A and B are shown apart, each in its own frame.
Chain A
Amino acid sequence: MAECGASGSGSSGDSLDKSITLPPDEIFRNLENAKRFAIDIGGSLTKLAYYSTVQHKVARVRSFDYSGKDAEQDHEPPYEISVQEEVTARLHFVKFENTYIEACLDFIKDHLVNTDTKVIQATGGGAYKFKDLIEEKLRLRVDKEDVMTCLIKGCNFVLKNIPHEAFVYQKDSDPEFRFQTNHPNIFPYLLVNIGSGVSIVKVETEDRFEWIGGSSIGGGTFWGLGALLTKTKKFDELLHLASKGQHTNVDMLVQDIYGGAHQTLGLSGNLIASSFGKSATADRDFSKEDMAKSLLHMISNDIGQLACLYAKLHCLDRVYFGGFFIRGHPVTMRTITYSINFFSKGEVQALFLRHEGYLGAIGAFLKGAEQDNPNQYSWGENYAGSSGLMSSSPELCPTQRARSGTFDLLEMDRLERPLVNLPLLLDPSSYVPDTVDLTDDSLARKYWLTCFEEALDGVVKRAVASQPGSVDAAERAEKFRQKYWSKLQTLRHQPFAYGTLTVRSLLDTREHCLNEFNFPDPYSKVKQKENGVALKCFPRVIRGLDALGWEDRQLALVKGLLAGNVFDWGAKAVSDVLESDPQFGFEEAKMKLQERPWLVDSYSKWLQRLKGPPHKCALIFADNSGIDVILGVFPFVRELLSRGTEVILACNSGPALNDVTYCESLIVAERIAAMDPVVHSALREERLLLMQTGSSSPCLDLSRLDKGLAVLVRERGADLVVIEGMGRAVHTNYHAALRCESLKLAVIKNSWLAERLGGRLFSVIFKYEVPAE
């Protein structure tokens, strides 16, 4: 922790502003290369945005130059691995209370070194007030941006780029947060921004929006009137008062007017007939709590009613709420949701945004960065660097608040390539990648969180081992452990922190944390070794397969796919076996497989299909390196090619566990081609295409796939999708409906999951699906 403002800024340091401590390793990260600043100063919170580049290590694989060497030497690895520095772009957003603004500006000034930035985009009501301060401290020119334009730009950005951005809030249900899958078309929608007043904006396209109405009864009314009525000065305190009050002491209810008769008349007696109707008397005192509650109801109901009237007039059923009145406060989300449900009779949905507080800053940033075309890229939320929902809510997360003050962070990585839907999804708007929602299923949540906790030691060990030459590997690994451990603890208490909690999000968070501490590919050496071993076995496996009759071969190929899939360092059960018995081989793995009939077994249907005409083009999502891809997938690919089916083999763009990466797949394919004429000619004739998925996750989100892959899938008219492995075919996509035939296969390498599915460890899933005509 560094004393902010004490680092040579020349200021006296005795003001309150100066005495705050900022943990610089957590806040304002990566300032050195920062450029392009934007700031959104609201009534009480400041949001700072900056664009920076992050240097981190990546493991690169490269084929050896075999000329003059004996490639068949036994100890020779199949390719070399080098660790290189890579520069990627990242957006940083920091949110803090206005009290800290001066200290923060000082901190930035001191840490901003080699920037050529001259301008800072500013938005929000406070931009005027702090203009001089910003210009003086940062020596940047302040460019004012329109508040609403920024807000909407920001809103479009998060809706497009952050999965599970929007959620429905249901107070008395478990979970309270219901995250929405991103709709492929986010327009049109209604944005109701509740700041001091209320603005109601209809957003029709990226650039077209219209202010269709508003109301002066908003957050400022709650705050201002609340302060007058209760002598309580702070907004949060007022909300706190409201959460303890009884509005029925202040409001005139239907039952107060009708007596007991409301029941026989079919009226709900608890409905408010007149807000503050009971306070029209001089001879009674009302408690602060009750008045605050009544005020909250009055304002929320009014906003909800107007929002419904506007939604109805413009035929819209999605209304996003934002602004400081909402700002993740459960109590206001609850009353607004109630009001919307009441007035629309359920026809309009009140939606809230996880990053609602950042919209203005994001929009201002995008305005300033238009020349960089940030909207042409896809962006991904970095779980390692983002605080998560409610991080600064004092009621919900006291520990985190104590740790980093009231600072809240969001980091977004610019992805190398734009991501789009797989064109073969049956209904992109209803596609949900994840099979189990751990926010929903508390038993499953507890199991998986514990599972990831228990596996953490092993991951740390492997991370250290992957960088034997590094002096600080142990130290970084320890930091990784702490970071991921604390994420897991946060998720135990707030499963909703990063959207719907899933096995995928737990895995992705771990990858993000590993990357954060420069462990880009802890399995690179393991993969290298396994690829080497498997490549040597390839000819023997092919000879064995070719010796079989057609029907036996088909089963052997499928078993090979499944057996290869047993080799998975990601699953704890398997890594235990592999650690203890490094000689555990392909044949042994086949022996381990469940006998048919499998847990899910549509093999006969598949075999029947194979007797028919060949598929035009198969899209195969590969899983693990080594035996899986080389002895399982490639023979299967080879058979498809022989049938006259084109094959697109899609592998991860970046490393995740021991999954085969796109770069590794290129080398592997090249080595196989050297041994096998079928693969060789297919590669040459582009009947076998190696592509990248755009993902670095052990799971698979078919709604966020590399655009190049999507284009190719459409061009080649893929009519078969093969998804292999537990992460891609069970944790995700198990229920995914496609427009073409699909094959989902996996070996369940987790006894808990196997039991849940009604089977045992190493049970086999073989799911062949043909879409309904």
Chain B
Amino acid sequence: MGAGRLGVPMERHGRASDTSASSAGEPAPVGPDGRRRELLRCRASSASEPPVGASASAEGVRRSRPGSYSGAPSASRQRVESLRKKRQLFPWFGLDIGGTLVKLVYFEPKDITAEEEEEEVESLKSIRKYLTSNVAYGSTGIRDVHLELKDLTLCGRKGNLHFIRFPTHDMPAFIQMGRDKNFSSLHTVFCATGGGAYKFEQDFLTIGDLQLCKLDELDCLVKGILYIDSVGFNGRSQCYYFENPADAEKCQKLPFDLKNPYPLLLVNIGSGVSILAVYSKDNYKRVTGTSLGGGTFFGLCCLLTGCTTFEEALQMASRGDSTKVDKLVRDIYGGDYERFGLPGWAVASSFGNMMSKEKREAVSKEDLARATLITITNNIGSIARMCALNENINQVVFVGNFLRINTIAMRLLAYALDYWSKGQLKALFSEHEGYFGAVGALLELLKIP
């Protein structure tokens, strides 16, 4: 999960263009299969592009990566390039180490030739096998099989993109595993983003003998979401919205074609929340952020209910009744507050009923979990709506792992945005909600704009 970075509401403009001048403005060509193909031709055509695997020795790689490169790469990039030049490109990873969760995307090539396979070192095989044949790793690592992107063409290679997550507190175990599996012998580059890329950099180096290529999390996020939206979701739409979100029976999840993505308000709800205004592929700014995010929901749930997992917290919330905990407008005014046009069902005071001892004694843990979820979600919706108004943007995409398996929150965001904006704002969601940072890191590894 990306940190909320409450503290850094500075203007940030994307740097995505610094490696891809040529392709930045062009729409990606669409292949005969109807899907967009990320063609290496685009990359090769750019004279200013830094070298990507130009002198890589692996046959397959060399074959798929023609062209020579020149230019003045930055110091960090130079380091990465020098690593890359050595030979090995596989395995392809993108890593996003957030405050709570680590997100890992792994590209599994399916077009490996016999030659290639022969040349492939043992440890690489073992990694591929380990990752693709399991759906769980250790006690906490999980592969989101349902999110797997099949037959994806990436840098001329066909393969599947896998999505894996595990808690940040298991990072040491992950690094240890990298050491055990002898990752460093692959001379691969780990492109990592999120605060943890900085926090664990030294551990990667000293324990795992691995050099991280650290990437800005917001750059990665923006890149990742634009890319994933462009490739779709195994033929389906990546982006969706809710119709009749307030009505349990009529509520429908419908695909949304984000054909005009700009301008876009991007709300990333991880442990904290970052809100970005995206004006084009390479032009975005961080508008604001809030520290009331997924971490707050889960943290408060732990304190209030004793739950131990996010899933458990959501489970509880799904069974609870927040109106026992919250003070509604109708609790104060007996109905709607007409003077201000406030509906009676609106929450006037989150946890407001808990000021009374009797009511505190009458609520269940489920009620508290539900109220916590509603409080955090409404607040994010409210801040997002104000940002959209201030930035004059009317489509808002909510992403981040807070939304994983969290239909309550998504429907609430959808409803709140629609209601309070009188239908002017649309809340959009994306299937790969929490993985965009990791995808962005992978794209950076492959130099895909």
Chain A positions within 8 Å of B, measured between CB atoms, are 43, 125, 146, 148-149, 195-197, 199, 211, 213-221, 223-225, 227-229, 233, 250-252, 254, 256-262, 265, 267-268, 270-282, 286, 291, 298, 301-302, 305-306, 309-310, 312-313, 343
Contacts and interface: CB of A to CB of B under 8 A. Distances in A.
A281 B168 CA distance: 12
A257 B308 contact: no
A707 to B, nearest CB: 34
A685 B348 CA distance: 67
Given A216-B375, A267-B5, 16 more contacts: A149-B339, A217-B350, A217-B375, A220-B351, A221-B350, A221-B375, A252-B295, A261-B201, A268-B8, A276-B295, A277-B99, A277-B296, A282-B308, A298-B291, A298-B292, A313-B389
B349 A279 contact: no
A279 B352 contact: no
B368 interface: yes
B299 interface: yes
Interface in B189-206: 194-196, 198-201
Contacts of A257: 3, 98-99, 194-196, 199, 271
Contacts of B5: 254, 267, 271, 273
Contacts of A267: 5, 7-8
B351 A228 contact: yes
B387 A309 contact: yes
A276 to B, nearest CB: 3
A571 B375 CA distance: 62
A280 B9 contact: no
Interface in B264-302: 270-272, 288, 290-296, 298-300, 302
A704 B390 CA distance: 40
Contacts of B390: 309, 312-313
**B interface bracket (residues with beta carbon within 8 Å of A):** 35 or more
A18 B300 CA distance: 41
A276 B339 contact: no
Contacts of A233: 357
A259 B292 contact: no
Contact of B199 (A224, A227, A251, A259): A259
B299 A278 contact: yes
A214 B386 CA distance: 11
A221 B351 contact: yes
Given A274-B4, A278-B299, A306-B382, A227 B350 contact: no
B92 to A, nearest CB: 25
A259 B199 CA distance: 4
Interface in B292-320: 292-296, 298-300, 302-304, 306-308
Contacts of B8: 254, 267-268, 271
26 contacts: A125-B332, A196-B348, A197-B327, A199-B340, A213-B386, A216-B346, A217-B350, A217-B379, A225-B351, A225-B354, A233-B357, A251-B291, A257-B3, A272-B291, A273-B99, A273-B272, A274-B3, A275-B272, A277-B100, A277-B295, A282-B306, A282-B308, A301-B6, A305-B290, A312-B390, A343-B9
Given A220-B327, A225-B354, A280-B299, A196 B9 contact: no
A279 B305 CA distance: 12
Contact of B351 (A224, A275, A279, A301): A224
Contacts, number: 227
B393 interface: no
B242 to A, nearest CB: 22
B295 A275 contact: yes
B341 interface: yes
B184 to A, nearest CB: 21
B353 interface: yes
B201 A196 contact: no
B186 interface: no
B360 interface: yes
Q: Which 9 A-B pairs have the closest CB atoms?
A: A271-B7, A224-B354, A259-B199, A257-B195, A274-B295, A261-B198, A220-B349, A220-B352, A276-B299
A254 B386 contact: no
Contacts of B52: none
Nearest to A128: B334
Contact of B349 (A218, A268, A306): A218
Contacts of B375: 216-217, 221
B378 interface: yes
B382 A197 contact: no
Contacts of B300: 225, 276, 279
Interface string B362-396: 00000010000001001100110011011000000
A273 B6 contact: yes
B30 interface: no
Contacts of B382: 213, 215, 306
Contact of B3 (A197, A214, A273, A279): A273
B148 interface: no
A216 B347 contact: yes
A274 B352 contact: no
B355 interface: yes
B270 to A, nearest CB: 8
B199 A273 contact: no
Nearest to A224: B354
Given A257-B195, A271-B7, A312-B390, A252 B99 contact: yes
Contacts of B308: 282
Contacts of A282: 302, 306-308
B298 A280 contact: yes
B326 interface: yes
B103 to A, nearest CB: 14
B3 A276 contact: no
Contacts of B7: 254, 267-268, 270-273
Nearest to B353: A224
Question: Which residue among A218, A257, A275 has the maximum number of chain B CB atoms within 10 Å of its CB?
Answer: A257
A597 B20 CA distance: 78
B290 to A, nearest CB: 6
Nearest to A233: B357
Contacts of B378: 216
A267 B292 CA distance: 19
A257 B271 CA distance: 10
Given A257-B98, A298-B292, A309-B390, A197 B348 contact: yes
Contacts of B196: 257
Nearest to B99: A257
Contacts of A223: 351, 354-355
Question: Which residue among A218, A224, A281 has the maximum number of chain B CB atoms within 10 Å of its CB?
Answer: A224
A257 B201 CA distance: 12
Given A273-B7, A274-B4, A276-B303, A310 B386 contact: yes
Contacts of B389: 313
Contacts of B379: 215-217, 302
Contacts of A217: 292, 350, 375, 379
B322 to A, nearest CB: 11
Contacts of A271: 5-8
